Amino acid sequence: MEDHTILASSDNFGNVTVCPGGVVHVNLSHCSLKFTPSDFVKLSELIAKARISFDSPRKGSAKPHLQLVTSDQERTPSQEKPEETV
């Protein structure tokens, strides 16, 4: 790996290098991936999109909505159920 150019590095996490042949190497603690330059760009764009979604507020974290429920006595004629015919 002496002939690889280091593109990015993070202590105790991993690094990204490119070899003279143009292959991009993503090396993490227990995983190594190799990409063509165009596939590496696609992966980078995919991760950037995922990061935006990950950082945005999630639907489940919103506060519950209040809903007004009326009792049977307070129903208006339009809210009553139609009578069944036999």
Q: Is residue 69 part of a domain?
A: no
User: How far, in Å, are 28, 50, 72, 73 from residue 76 at the CA level?
Assistant: 65, 49, 9, 9
pTM above 0.85?
no
- With bands split at pLDDT 50, 70 and 90, how would you rate the model's confidence at 82? low
Which tens digit of pLDDT belongs to each residue from 4-35? Answer: 999 999 999 999 999 999 999 999 989 999 99
Q: Is residue 76 part of a domain?
A: no
Q: Is residue 70 part of a domain?
A: no
Which tens digit of pLDDT belongs to each residue from 41-53? Answer: 999 999 999 999 9
How many structural domains compose the chain?
Answer: 1
Alpha helices in the chain (DSSP H): 37-55
Q: Is residue 68 part of a domain?
A: no
Q: Is residue 16 part of a domain?
A: yes
